């Protein structure tokens, strides 16, 4: 039996990058995946790859009416929701706090943080019925910080603390809440970030060097961890921010090596 057979997973930001890798792995593990995205082109491409048993919903995760509609459509079609994976996120702008505009700050907080509030607000009753779980995609920089990314790191630090509070609030209903925290992962968003850095040509060496395991991975390594967290194998894990980082947060080795190669 596959780990996620019969589970209905609502996945935000599931048409590109880590989210799409998660969608593929969830489907491979036997789940039915409902992808939310505000990008119709990538949404169509993703659902074509997944197949007709899965669903795609065009929605802005920062808009309450869109999220409420997506939850209702999922329940009407499949009758239940077992997992809500809050993966949608943006990293722009690459700037310190005083150079971040109010509009940029609001965009990051709305997509990265408010979206979790909205999916929980509209989806919690379904999760109570299924005794399901919530997975939040965070980032290692939410714990260790990162220069020139004040809004992004603030949003991910908030995701980490929110994950723990949600785990406590919903434990009485047997709902587990966890987060995954990647370091570097090759996604379209990361490659776009690299283009805005001073040493864009050295970004691949840099990204490999910050991971003690020696390489920057693709999104499938995050997806494998999410499959585990969504499954009954993780039935006694809640309130955990799981580093899927290749050891990037450990010791001084990664920092020194990165400095030497960039």
Cβ-in-10-Å burial (0-12, 13-18, 19+) of 189 comes to middle
Comparing CA positions, the residue from 223, 159, 214 lying closest to residue 16 is: 223
Catalytic hit among 26, 122, 152, 170: 152
Dist CA 100 CA 67 (whole Å): 27
Residues 34 and 13 sit within 8 Å (Cβ to Cβ): no
Dist CA 176 CA 87 (whole Å): 16
Residue 152: active-site member: yes
Q: What is the 3-state secondary structure (H, E, C) of 93-144?
A: CCCCHHHCCHHHHHHHHHHHHHHHHHHHHHHHHHHHHHCCEEEEECCCHHHH
Q: Residue 21: helix, strand or coil by DSSP?
A: helix
Sequence-ordered list of residues with C-beta below 8 angstroms from that of 211, at least 6 positions apart, any chain? 183, 184, 217, 245, 246, 247, 248, 254
What single DSSP character describes residue 79?
S
Active-site residue set? 152
């Amino acid at each position: 039996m596959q780990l996620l057979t019969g589970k209905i997973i609502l996945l935000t930001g599931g048409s590109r990058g880590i989210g799409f890798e998660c969608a593929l792995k969830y489907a491979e593990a036997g789940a039915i995946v409902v992808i939310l995205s505000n990008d119709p082109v990538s949404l169509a491409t993703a659902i074509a790859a997944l197949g007709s048993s899965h669903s795609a919903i065009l929605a802005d995760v920062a808009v309450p009416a869109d999220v409420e509609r997506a939850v209702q459509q999922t329940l009407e079609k499949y009758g239940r929701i077992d997992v809500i994976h809050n993966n949608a996120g943006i990293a722009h702008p690459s700037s310190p706090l005083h150079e971040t505009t109010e509009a940029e700050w609001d965009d990051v907080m709305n997509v990265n943080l408010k979206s979790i509030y909205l999916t929980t607000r509209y989806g919690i009753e379904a999760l109570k019925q299924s005794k399901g779980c919530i997975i939040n995609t965070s980032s290692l920089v939410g714990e260790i910080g990162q220069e020139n990314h004040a809004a992004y790191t603030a949003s991910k630090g908030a995701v980490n603390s929110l994950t723990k509070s949600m785990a406590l609030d919903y434990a009485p209903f047997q709902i587990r809440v966890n987060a995954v925290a990647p370091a570097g992962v090759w996604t379209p968003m990361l490659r776009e970030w690299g283009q805005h850095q001073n040493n864009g040509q050295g970004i691949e060496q840099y990204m490999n060097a910050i991971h003690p395991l020696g390489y920057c991975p693709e999104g499938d390594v995050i997806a494998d961890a999410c499959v585990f967290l969504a499954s009954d194998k993780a039935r006694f894990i809640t309130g955990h921010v799981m580093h899927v980082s290749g050891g990037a947060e450990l010791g001084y080795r990664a920092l020194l090596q990165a400095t030497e190669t960039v």
